[in-house]
Amino acid sequence: MNEFLSNHGTELLIKTGEHLYISFVAILLGVVVAVPLGILFSRIPKMADRLISFVGILQTIPSLAILAFFIPLLGVGKLPAILALFFYSLLPILRNTYIGIQGVNASVREAGKGMGMSNWQSIMKLELPLALPVIMAGIRLSTVYLIGWATLAAFIGGGGLGDFIFDGLNLYQPVLIIAGTVPATILALLADRLLAIVEQKLTPTGMKESYEAA
């Protein structure tokens, strides 16, 4: 391993940076799209289940098939890899946002209306903070999955730690496979822990106390 690090240490850092970039941009796009959609769906519950089920169909498509689908449209590189991962990030965040908003007690909404809050104010000041733990659970799940799936970006020239894995498979060198797999696993664990800390910081104090009491 020391020999590998001396020969490929700089490359490992570059590939790790690429891996983080691909994963971060994909999950950021997922949050920007899925959270507002989840809030919107909570306002149309009769259609929400059908729409969420439709989004769920995307998750049944093999990841390599989605990557291959984007090649004729966008060529190879990071962009098609990011878009493919973005589609995979949608369902957990969307579903958890919808469930979290729907789970807010109706009396809380009524209290907000009684205080003169508009629908937008109710969402931003009451519903989103109360639904945050559920939403963050979806974001954490998507992030862990995407960091693992980002290794497939190498299949279409997107770079990242998957380059080591594919090179190891092609050259029959287990050390290269390990060099791609272990850092990706560590990144996923660190991201999950970091998001857990962010969730704790953003969760309203009253909700923290109720969770601890439970």
Distances (CA, A) of 101 to 84, 120, 154, 200, 209: 27, 13, 37, 18, 20
* C-alpha closest to that of 80 among 96, 97, 95, 66: 66
Q: Which domain holds residue 125?
A: 2-204
pLDDT of the residue at 18: 92
The enclosing domain of 178 has a CATH number of 1.10.3720.10
Pair 94, 41: CB distance under 8 Å: yes
Query: How many folded domains does the chain comprise?
Result: 1
Is 212 within the bounds of a domain? Answer: no
The DSSP output letter for 153 is G
Residue 213 lies in a domain: no
Closest CA to 59 of 131, 166, 138: 138
Per-residue pLDDT of the chain (214 residues; tens, 9 = 90+): 566 667 767 888 999 999 999 999 999 999 999 999 999 998 888 888 888 888 888 778 877 788 888 888 888 888 988 988 898 889 899 999 999 998 888 787 788 888 878 778 888 888 888 888 899 999 999 999 899 888 888 888 888 888 989 888 888 888 888 888 999 999 999 999 999 888 887 776 655 544 444 3
* 142 within some domain: yes
- Is residue 23 helix, strand or coil? helix
Let me know if residue 211 belongs to a domain: no
> What per-residue confidence (pLDDT) applies to 94?
93
DSSP 173: -
Spatial CB neighbours of 159, under 8 Å, sequence gap ≥ 6: 15, 18, 19, 22, 78, 153
Give the pLDDT confidence score for residue 159 in this predicted structure. Answer: 85
Q: Is residue 23 part of a domain?
A: yes
Tell me, yes or no, whether 33 lies in a domain.
yes
Residue 210 belongs to a domain: no
